[in-house]
Structure 1
Amino acid sequence: MSSKNISMAVIRRLPKYHRYLGDLLDKDIQRISSKELSDIIGFTASQIRQDLNNFGGFGQQGYGYNVEALYNEIGKILGLNRSYNAILVGAGNLGQAIANYSGFRKAGFEIKALFDANPKMIGLKIRDFEILDSDNIEQFITDNNIEIAILCIPRNGAQELVNRLVKTGIKGVWNFAPIDLEVPDGVIVENVNLKESLFTLSYLMKENEEE
């Protein structure tokens, strides 16, 4: 099946499979059935088999899944068998928290530089990074083969900045700015709206209280 025909719902479940399989490997568990995986993850066994069958046959009847092999295969499907160079734009509290998270580097996402437009931030150091002036962002992207931009900036100016980034050939944007960005075909945007996620939590809590 072409990856273009696989629903986003399936794709968004893959990182969860990968995380839980990694936890199983840490516990030295080598084999697991779809039923056992269902009990751990919370998806039905049928859903798990359907999801994985989109990408080929990974399990064996009567045996289940080889945990390490499935973990590695899902990693390849997610593109985690390669590395990505990234920049982070916006060195405020959120940007600093992301820059300090070591898990991205372990997964192959290497943040190469931090940028900010605030003159008071430029030149300060976060972890091993000196915050650079975002006026110089295009040259850095070109010189350092940057593929991903992480945006932790206010909505004002976000679209203008992305327009600049697109011209450099940036391939992906991880967007924390509270705005739906417009990009041309060939550029991927993954929006992370913290307020919307919090509002969803609020709704579910309200529903739970009313039951």
Structure 2
Amino acid sequence: MGSKNISMAVIRRLPKYHRYLGDLLDKDIQRISSKELSDIIGFTASQIRQDLNNFGGFGQQGYGYNVGALHNEIGKILGLDKKYNAILIGAGNLGQAIANYSGFKRAGFEVKALFDANPRMIGLKIRDFEVLDSESLEDFVKENEIDIAMLCIPKNGAQNIVDRLVNVGIKGIWNFAPIDLEVPKNIIVENVNLKESLFTLSYLMKENE
């Protein structure tokens, strides 16, 4: 599976499959066909079968998919059976909103600390965290085996923070800063640009008029 060149389009559909299958389990639905899943999720039945066949044969002809087993297997494909230690950098409005989200821990992402460079923010309590001085970033990452940094800071200075994180072994960056970061090839960056997403919505609304 790891040697296959699976497209990012397929990979980006996997979390949606995982979410919908979780909803089905909450309703105590244990079996579903690709056609029934298509009606719920919005992808064609053929697309669903093609996507899942990238990772092995999960369905049975005449039976469909075992919802619990498929949900579990997609979770493993997404790495949700692993545990990740994370830090959040930037304790402004966006950082605080993310820090207050309770779903990370259930998915295996343990936020260990919040950091900020603003002296007025340092020492404040947000949820269960005291905001730490970003000057202590490197020591904390090394001492706590941090895997992921969630970046919620302005673009000015973001690259410098990332360079510091890379130097102490960070593996992944969830980037909300409006900047394309330069990192080594072995560092994974997932960009979340709120403005670009909003502009896409604006375009689609304009085209729908």
- Cα gap change, 1:4 to 1:193, in 2 (>3 Å): farther
The residue type equivalent to 1:27 in the other structure is K
| Post-superposition offset of 1:79 | 0.1
| Post-superposition offset of 1:3 | 4.9
Identity of counterpart residues, as a percentage? 85
Taking the aligned partners of 1:47 and 1:3, their CA distance within structure 2 comes to: 21
Q: Deviations over 1:141-163 (max 9, x none)?
A: 00001000000000000001100
1:141 corresponds in structure 2 to 141
Taking the aligned partners of 1:95 and 1:167, their CA distance within structure 2 comes to: 23
Taking the aligned partners of 1:94 and 1:4, their CA distance within structure 2 comes to: 36
Q: TM-score, normalised by structure 1?
A: 0.98
Taking the aligned partners of 2:4 and 2:134, their CA distance within structure 1 comes to: 35
1:81 corresponds in structure 2 to 81
Within-5 A mapping of 1:15-34: 15-34=15-34
Taking the aligned partners of 1:38 and 1:53, their CA distance within structure 2 comes to: 15
| Post-superposition offset of 1:82 | 1.1
Taking the aligned partners of 2:2 and 2:73, their CA distance within structure 1 comes to: 16
Q: Deviations over 1:67-101 (max 9, x none)?
A: 00000000000000011000000000000000000
The residue type equivalent to 1:73 in the other structure is E
The residue type equivalent to 1:115 in the other structure is F
The residue type equivalent to 2:97 in the other structure is A
- Cα gap change, 1:167 to 1:8, in 2 (>3 Å): same
CA RMSD of aligned residues (A): 0.7
Within-5 A mapping of 1:120-135: 120-135=120-135
2:67 corresponds in structure 1 to 67
The residue type equivalent to 2:41 in the other structure is I
2:110 counterpart SS class? strand
Structure 1: 5+ residue stretches without partners: none
Q: TM-score, normalised by structure 2?
A: 0.99
Structure 2: 5+ residue stretches without partners: none
Within-5 A mapping of 1:85-104: 85-104=85-104
| Post-superposition offset of 1:31 | 0.1
- Cα gap change, 1:103 to 1:14, in 2 (>3 Å): same
